[in-house]
Amino acid sequence: MPQKIYITGLGIVSALGPSLEHTVEALRLGRTGIRKIKHLKTRYRGILPAGEIDFTNEELAEMLHLPSIKRYSRTALLGMLAAKQAWQHDEKLPLRTGFVSATSVGGIDRSELAYKHFMVNNDIRGCLHKMMSHDCGDSTERIADFLNIRGFVSTISTACSSSSNAMILGGRMIQNGMVDKILVGGTDALTVYTLNGFHTLKILDEEWCMPFDKNRRGLNLGEGAAYLTLESEESMKISGSQPLCELRGFGNTNDAFHQTASSPDGAGAYHAMQLALKRGNLDISDIDYINAHGTATPNNDLSEGTAIKNLFKDYIPQFSSTKSFTGHTLAAAGAIEAVISVLLMRNKMLAPNLNFHDRMDELNIEPVKIFNQDVELKTVLSNSFGFGGNCSSLVFTETA
Amino acid sequence: MNNQVYINALACISPQDTLNAEQFLQSSEFVSGSPMRSIEPTYKEHIDRRYLRRMGRMVRMGVAAATKALADADIKNPDAILVGTGMGCLEDTEKFLRAIYESDENIASPNQFIQSTHNNVAAQIALMLGCYNYNFTYVHRGFSFESAMLDAILHVQEAGENKTDILVGACDELTDMYLEVTSKLNIWKSKVPRHSLKYNMGIKSEQGEGAAFFAVSNQRSQNTIASLDALRMVYKPQSSARLTDEIDHFLARQSLTLDDIDLVLLGYDGGGQKGDVYDEVVNSVFDGKNQAVYKHLCGEYKTAGAFATWLSCEMIRQQHVPEFVKWNAFEIDTIRRVLIFNNYNSANFVLSLLSHV
């Protein structure tokens, strides 16, 4: 048996609020964080809905007690806010630590302003500093420096599955004895770049998104960050951390079908879930709940639903997409939904899939429609899929 | 490491004629220029036209190098595809940003947005091969390639007795906009480090680009080139003493001393490293060792470490150190072990040990 991987710390910021408590409260009340864009400077402000975090960069910097926001991308600021909650560490302890973060936009929230400046003035001077945070590694190093993590530091970008993959890498490094304790997760800010990208792909819903509904029209974008501390059993003995749950299994595959679309039978998703169960030494009947990828695009939900049906057959667990609360936070989605999954397990509750009315014609499946309390969730599966065919599934189990 | 990590095939597209590896290493000349742009092959010889049409430059470089490495290793369906890129598909990112601005957020085509995702190269390779297996893209500055390689090491360890074949590599591209920005930032204003150069090589690295891919396995083949014995990334060590400790531990874990290292490949970029932690450590730890440099050949970029790995493998395979990489004067008979000691921006340091098998 491979070494167990324990989750000992959680941190989150999303449209539901800047803490675990805010997140649980919103899920309990069935209160979505998605509303018309208010802060992002775009022509779609006030028009398109998104899971935007209701804090300006200045406010975020204040919450973090930073002297100045000048050098920080919004992606870094959100990441710092979530990572700070998840990471407690005494540097004097003899533990090998690390940090793996995920992002798809990196610091584009600042560099897109610099590009605009360049195109208007044909000169980059005056906003060069906005270019320095463009690459994906920038936010990771900002967070690592903020928390003073000096061990292994890296960044993953596999589109919308990115932060699930950060968790997979962190877990494998613990199992292979490369680190004892590692912070994993992801962060992505809402940007004009991604908003226009998804708008041009014609997969944004102009109203609240409706995951798994027959009449779903598309997704709502979101922004946010979430991080989890992973530790080995040995590390917990030294650090004194208490386990919140176990990262029991994981699977990573490629759908190898199309650059942006998922295959009709959800082959990649099917294999990712199957691998996660296998690696966790679990049976389909062990799964109590699936936190689905459920973007609410016509393509994803049919493909994912088909994969779930093919894998679980007559035993389809309870499932829901909490993107109806947070919006699709891209590279952060996997970690945000991992944190939500752990919160649901710990609080014995089931989060509803908001805005669901009618089952899809092709599949006779129905997500959780209302909030449920006192539900025993021993084992939870969480899916994240992305452009480029990247598919990842994670399984969390209660600790004995 | 329990299992050995073998490099069984490799391919590199760079500002040098690296697709003709033998000729390049045996020649006495190298290409210099400003900036350092890749010598690109005729892509249709490497990539199916159906896929080629939409690919940007970086994707073409990456996919062509990957395809060649896989073909040389005779691998059709690798167990993992692992790619590093520091900046991702910059050209398409810039094109899409321009489209946003010029159309006032009314863009006609999503093509550039789709092509600009960082995982594009790994995705295209999976798509072309029909490969459903593990697929990761790393995007961390001077650790992008090395993170991908670390993942390959994990795969080899996890495979146990089962054979595993992994494609690992990296690519980055240079664009006019990026050049404009970096030249204004003065990042790479050439300053020759204080060493007196015995050979007039004009060591001064410009900004560069390139792609290098490797077929890695836990099993030897007839064509095995080298083994990767150890890899270590060191993030912002607080002092030169800390970095020196890392090197000592790195060698000790392999039960080696500096005497066992035949050649050290250094990551001097000709920029502001004089007297900094990296320079200090090179001078104290590797004084008197056979030293070589490489960034005058490929330029400086976030995944230049992939070029260094390619060069080290080729020097081991051909048992030859070209004069134009020698940093000090030495003659060498047998190259058993090469230690790469890389530096990106005085923040990302890498130790990588390759040996002859």
Query: Tens digit of pLDDT for each residue in A342-396?
Result: 999 999 999 999 999 999 999 999 999 999 999 999 999 999 999 999 999 999 9
Please write the tens of the pLDDT for every residue from B267-281: 987 655 556 889 899
A128 and B185 within 8 Å at the Cβ level: the answer is yes
Q: Would you state the torsion angle of the CA atoms of residues A47, A50, A53, A56, taken in this order, to the nearest 10 degrees?
A: -30
Q: Say what percent of chain A tops pLDDT 70.
A: 100
Side chain identity at residue A137, one-letter code: G
Please, which pLDDT band fits residue B189 given cuts at 50, 70 and 90? very low
pLDDT of residue B275: 62
Chain-centroid distance of CA A54 in Å reads 18
pLDDT higher than 50, residue B197: no
Confidence at residue B271, expressed as pLDDT on a 0 to 100 scale: 59
CA B32 to CA B203: how far, in whole Å?
A: 10
CB–CB of B158 and A172 under 8 A? Answer: yes
Candidate CATH numbers 3.30.70.141, 2.40.10.10, 3.40.47.10, 3.40.50.300; the one for domain A245-397:
3.40.47.10
pTM of the model: 0.97
pLDDT digits (tens, 9 = 90+) for B218-264: 999 999 999 999 999 999 998 999 999 999 999 999 999 999 999 99
Confidence of residue B205 (pLDDT cuts 50, 70, 90): low
Q: What is the Cα A371 distance to its own chain's centre?
A: 21
Residue among A108, A158, A196 whose CB faces B136 most closely = A158
Interface contact flag, A256 B119, Cβ < 8 Å: no
Query: A84 or A132: whose pLDDT is higher?
Result: A84
pLDDT confidence tier of residue B132, bands split at 50, 70 and 90:
very high
Percentage above 90 pLDDT, chain B:
81
Is the confidence at residue B201, as pLDDT, over 60?
Answer: no
Within 8 A of A115 by CB-CB distance, chain B residues are: 94, 97-98, 101, 177
From the list B129, B139, B177, the residue facing A136 with the nearest CB is: B139
Alpha-carbon distance of A271 to A276, in angstroms, equals 8
pLDDT in the model for residue B279: 87
Specify the pLDDT at position A400. 74
Token couple for A236: 């917990």
Is residue B259 packed enough to be buried (19+ CB in 10 Å), middle (13-18) or exposed (0-12)?
exposed
Q: Does B45 touch chain A (CB under 8 A)?
A: no
pLDDT in the model for residue A117? 87
Q: How distant, in Å, are the alpha carbons of A7, A273, A305, A380, A381 from that of A287?
A: 19, 11, 16, 6, 7
Q: Is B179 on the interface with A (CB under 8 A)?
A: no
**pLDDT tens profile B43-99:** 999 999 999 988 999 999 999 999 999 999 999 999 999 999 999 999 999 999 999
pLDDT in tens, A235-268: 999 999 999 999 999 999 999 999 889 999 999 9
Of B207 and A102, which is predicted with more confidence? A102
Digit-coded pLDDT (tens) for A300-350? 999 999 999 999 999 999 999 999 999 999 999 999 999 999 999 999 999
- Scanning every residue of chain A, which has its alpha carbon at the shortest distance from the alpha carbon of B152? A169
Q: Residues of B numbered 296-325 whose beta carbons fall under 8 angstroms of chain A's beta carbons: which are they? A: 302
For residue B190, what pLDDT is reported? 43
Q: Catalogue the active-site residues of A.
A: 160, 293, 328
Q: Start-end ranges of CATH 3.40.47.10 in chain A?
A: 6-239, 245-397
* Contacting residues of B for A201, CB less than 8 Å apart: 110, 113-114
CA atoms of A209 and A328, how far apart (whole Å)? 10
Q: Is the ipTM of this complex over 0.95?
A: yes
Are B94 and A115 a contacting pair at CB < 8 A?
A: yes
Domains within chain B, CATH numbers bracketed: 5-355 (3.40.47.10)
Average pLDDT, chain A: 96
**Is residue B199 pLDDT above 60, yes or no?**
no
Reference B187, options B207, B209, B208; nearest CA is B207
User: What residues of chain B lie within 8 A of the CB of A135, using their CB?
Assistant: 86-88, 139, 141, 302
Q: Which of A140, A199, A390 is the closest to B119 by Cβ?
A: A390
What's the pLDDT score for residue B237?
93
- Between CA B176 and CA B174 the distance in angstroms is 7
- Closest partner residue to A135 (CB to CB) among B87, B150, B177 is B87
| Inter-chain residue contact A125 with B158, CB threshold 8 Å | no
Which pLDDT does position B196 carry in this prediction?
34
A193 to B100: CB separation less than 8 angstroms, yes or no: yes
What's the confidence (pLDDT) of residue B262? Answer: 98
Q: What is the pLDDT of residue B202?
A: 45
In chain A, residues with a C-beta closer than 8 Å to the C-beta of B81 are 254
CA distances from A1 to A4, A33, A179, B63 (A): 8, 41, 18, 37
Other Cβ atoms less than 10 A from the Cβ of A361: the count is 8
The pLDDT value recorded for residue B182 is: 78
Percent of chain A whose pLDDT exceeds 90? 92
Q: Which carries the bigger pLDDT value, residue A64 or residue A1? A: A64
Superfamily of domain A6-239: Thiolase/Chalcone synthase (3.40.47.10)
Average pLDDT over residues B289-302: 94
Residues of B with CB below 8 A from A98's CB?
A: none
The DSSP line for A230-285 is EE-HHHHHHH-PPPSEEEEEEEEEE--S-SSSPPTT-HHHHHHHHHHHHHTT--GG
Q: Do A172 and B144 touch (CB under 8 A)?
A: no
Question: What pLDDT is stored for residue B186 in this prediction?
Answer: 57
B32 confidence band (pLDDT: 50, 70, 90): confident
Say what the pLDDT of residue B54 is: 87
Q: Do B119 and A257 lie within an 8 Å CB cutoff?
A: no
What count of other Cβ atoms lies within 10 Å of the Cβ of residue B333? 6
What pLDDT is attached to residue B180?
A: 83
* pLDDT value at residue A101: 98
Instruction: Give me the residue from A43, A145, A253 closest to B132, CB to CB.
Output: A253
Cis previous bond, B35, omega within 30 = yes
- B138 contacts on A by Cβ (under 8 Å): 154-157
Average pLDDT of the segment spanning A117-127 = 83
For residues A172-201, average pLDDT: 98
pLDDT for the residue numbered B206 = 82
Residue B204, pLDDT > 70, answer no
Asked if residue A33 has pLDDT above 60, the reply is yes
User: Closest by alpha carbon to B295, among B306, B286, B287?
Assistant: B306
Q: Which of 358-397 (A) contact B at CB < 8 A?
A: 386-390
pLDDT at A199 > cutoff 60:
yes
With H, G, I as helix, E, B as strand and everything else as coil, classify residue A203. coil
Closest C-alpha to A171, from A252, A253, A247 = A247
Which residues, other chains included, contact A118 with Cβ-Cβ below 8 Å and sequence gap of 6+?
A: A124, A127, B177, B180
CA atoms of A313 and B50, how far apart (whole Å): 37
